Structure formats: structure tokens, C-alpha cells
Amino acid sequence: MIGLARGFALLLATVLLAAAALAQAPPKVTPASLPADWQQRDLEGKWVAYRAAVDGNPKDTTVPQAWALALAQSRDFELLEWIGIFEGWRWAGPQLVKADAPQLLRVAVWNVGAPDSHNKDTARKALLDRGDVALGWFEANPGAVSGKAAPVHAELVASGVRPAPAGHYLPALDAMQLLVPWLDAPAELTEWGDRRKQDSKVRYVHQVTRALSGVIVHGATDDLVVTKVVALTKHGNVALRTTAFKTLAALPGGCVPVEALHKMAMSGAEEAEQRRLATMALSYSTHPRVIELLAAIAKEPTYPGCDVAVDRLGEIGDPTTSAMLARIETRDPERLRHIASSISKIQQRQRAAEFLRPVPLRRLLERVAWLRVTKDPAAAAEAKTTEELLRQLAPQGQLGTVLEAFLNLPAPISPFRGEEVERVEQQLRAYANELRGR
């Protein structure tokens, strides 16, 4: 009886474990379980079906993963490419790699500037793992060598790998040709509804929002593309306007259009919510003017973006910003608490020596460099204040080491344009070397 009981208990445990495993298993989407009308849908219709499945389970990452696997099995490489371009490498990329799909190399190059580090790193690895054909592909697509893919190309060349024929792979994607037509949205946009195929004479809402996602994944964005996104912040479709502002905020800091966003944030002709969104997007620029512009908005309680400015100054500001916030005059208890909270955030970042990290350190040094280039009278005082802060934070005698490591890092996309890009970078390095030599 004891042996029978033990056997029954073991069987029960096995059944329970199997049931638990089934409960935790990701939902399977196979070619056989794709929508019944899958073959009657064109590429646009397939995209909509895929997005409906993902949007129906927004917190379940196994859904896009299962779809990517099913699409690879059904050899829907065009749709996988769209997923890789507009949503990133994470799910589509590994399936393109596994199938050695014709779209593989160009989707990988598209993702090497992505803001998501996982997408960026795994896309880069896919190129390095196929060093010979990747180098052959770069030789056949010289336009892809410049810009964000340049470091990968340089690494391939330095490795000594010999280029191999890459005729199997499709040519490079052109961001201007791929994104701009969809970003040029007419005033009238149509919802997809229950269609299976697109009407080529109609522009659908999801086509424009999808292109905005592609702008983010692409990363290094041309100013013309940014101008198109700015124009969409004034579109009649409210959801599209909001998405456009969020897209601007998600761009690399050097691509965020300071002037256009500041103008909207300050314009009394804009709706209050649009001004708040413009202030939020503006705050993600790395241009040195941003702190000053946000401080001016934060001082005026009647500005719709005032609360946003106070929040963001706490997240990106430095001790000088703390002083700006402390000078704001108000008798409103809630506003006083809000300002105090932002000052506290800056102080916490200072105690954690966060300003010695690459991104905040560049912001500090770049501001001094920019003031010098523009011959601003405040340059000398700013340089002194910045030096005092950095010496206070750096371990005794270690500031030079910190700056040397910083100067060896590649420079991010510059918030400046024209001749200012090189002039500010030269001044930044000159100022950093001044600090190292003292």
C-alpha cells in the first residue's frame, strides 16, 4: 500500500508539473494557426493582423515572439523585415538570422543605431558573425558605410576578414525613401477596419504611426525626417499628434529639434496639451540651451508645461539648476513641494557622483564649450563652476583619469549643426584637457 501511495503521489506530482509547464508555455502561433484568410491578405493586411494579435496581449512578450517564429516558418520574410524595421531587432532579427533571409543584413544595419541597447548589440553581432559576407555587402552598398554603421564596418576591416560575395542579400535601405512618403500624411486618414488589402489611393492611420516607430528604431535621424515628424504634431488626428511628440522625445538627444519645440511650448495659439507635450519633448534635447529654456517655463505657473519643466529639470539638471529652481517665487504649497522634490533629485544625483558618468559629464563639458564658441560672457564663470563640481565629486587626484576615459568614448550625435559641431567638440576636448593638466 505504501508503495502504491508513493507511486500515486509521484504520478500526481508529474501531472501537476506538466500542467504548470503547459500553463506557463508561450502561446504557439504556427503557419497552420495563422488567420484563415492569411493568404488572401496583402503585406499591409498581414501587418494589421499581426499588430491586432500583439495589441490584444500588450504585456505578453511571448505573442510577438511566437508570431516571429511562425512568420519565419511560413517564409513571410517581408513582414519579418517590417517588424525588424519598425519595431526593432528583438523578435524578428533572430528569425532572419536563422533563415539567413535576404533581408538580414540591411535590417541589421538599420538597427545598429537603435536606442534599445539589446537591439543595437544583437544586430551588430549578426553583422560581425557574418564578417566576410557583411564586408562584401558593405562594398556593394558603400552608402551604408557612413553614419551609424561606420564603427561596425571599421571593426570588420580591422579584423582582417576578406570580403565574400553577398549577392544573396538585398541592398541597403534608404531611410529617406522608406520613411518620408509615409510621414507625409494627408489631412484625411482612414482607419483600416476589416479590410484584407490596402487601397493604394488611401493613407491609413496605422501606416503613419508605424513610420514614426521606424524613425525611433532607425536612431540616427536626418533633419528632414525630423521636420516631417514636427509637422505631424499639428495633424488633425489627436492620437497621431501625441505619437509624433513621443517620437521626438525618443530621438537621440542631438536630433531633438529645440527651436521648433520651444516655439510650440511658448505659443499661446497652441492647445494646452500640445504645449505640455512640446515641453516634454524639448526636455530630451542635449543642447545646452535646454536647461535655460526649461527654467524659464518652470518659473511661470500659467504655462501649460510648467509642471513638466520642473520635473524634467530635476531629472537632467545640475547644481546650477538647483539654484535656478530655488529662486522661483511662489506661495503655492503644492508647487513648493514640487520644486523641492526636483531639487532633491539633483542633490541625490550629486551625492551619487552621477555627473562623472559619460552622459551627464558630456552635458556639463559641452555647455562650457558652447558658451566659449558663442563668446558668451558667462563662459568663464560656468567653466569655474563646472571645475569645482567635478573636483568635488572625483576621488582625490582621479579627475584626470575620469576625463581621459571620457575622451576615449565615441561622441554621440551632436545637438549642434554646421560648423558648430566641430568647433564645440574641439572646445570640449580643449577644456577637458585643461582640467586634466591642472
Q: Is the pLDDT reported for residue 377 higher than 70?
A: yes
Q: Is the pLDDT reported for residue 13 higher than 50?
A: no
Q: What are the grid coordinates assigned to 116, written together?
A: 534599445
**pLDDT single digits (tens) 256-290:** 999 999 999 999 888 999 999 999 999 999 999 99
Distance CA 178, CA 294 (A): 34
Distance CA 135, CA 145 (A): 10
340 and 280 inside one domain = yes
| Percentages of the chain per state (helix, strand, coil), in multiples of 5 | 70, 0, 30
- Coil, strand or helix at 42: coil
Distance CA 249, CA 264 (A): 14
C-alpha distance from residue 419 to each of 25, 104, 122, 412, 426 (Å): 56, 37, 34, 16, 11
Domain boundary among 127, 158, 189: 158
Which residue pairs, CB below 8 angstroms and at least 24 apart, start in 398-401? 399/435, 399/436, 400/435, 400/436
pLDDT of the residue at 14: 44
Say how many domains are in the chain.
3
274 and 331 inside one domain = yes
- Angle between helix axes 77-86 and 43-55 (nearest 10 degrees) is 60
101 and 72 inside one domain = yes
Q: What integer is the mean pLDDT of 238-252?
A: 96
pLDDT of the residue at 222: 87
**Contact status, residue 107 vs residue 96, Cβ threshold 8 Å:** yes
Residue 193, burial from CB neighbour count under 10 angstroms (0-12, 13-18, 19+): exposed
364 and 334 inside one domain = no
Q: What integer is the mean pLDDT of 306-330?
A: 96
pLDDT of the residue at 32: 60
DSSP characters for 222-281?
Answer: -HHHHHHHHHHTT-S-HHHHHHHHHHHHHS-GGGS-HHHHHHHHH-TTS-HHHHHHHHHH
Domain boundary among 119, 142, 158: 158
**pLDDT single digits (tens) 216-229:** 999 877 899 999 99
90 and 44 inside one domain = yes
Q: What are the grid coordinates assigned to 376, written together?
A: 558668451
Domain boundary among 352, 379, 399: 352
Q: Is the pLDDT reported for residue 126 higher than 60?
A: yes
Q: What integer is the mean pLDDT of 310-328?
A: 96
Q: How confident is the model at residue 384 (pLDDT cuts 50, 70, 90)?
A: very high
Q: Is the pLDDT reported for residue 202 higher than 90?
A: yes
C-alpha distance from residue 96 to each of 42, 72, 126, 365, 385 (Å): 20, 7, 10, 42, 51
pLDDT of the residue at 27: 52
Nearest to 190 by CA among 178, 181, 201: 201
Q: What integer is the mean pLDDT of 10-30?
A: 47
Q: Is the pLDDT reported for residue 8 higher than 80?
A: no
Q: Is the pLDDT reported for residue 371 higher than 50?
A: yes
Q: Is residue 363 part of a domain?
A: yes
Output phi, psi for 204, to 5 deg: -100, 150
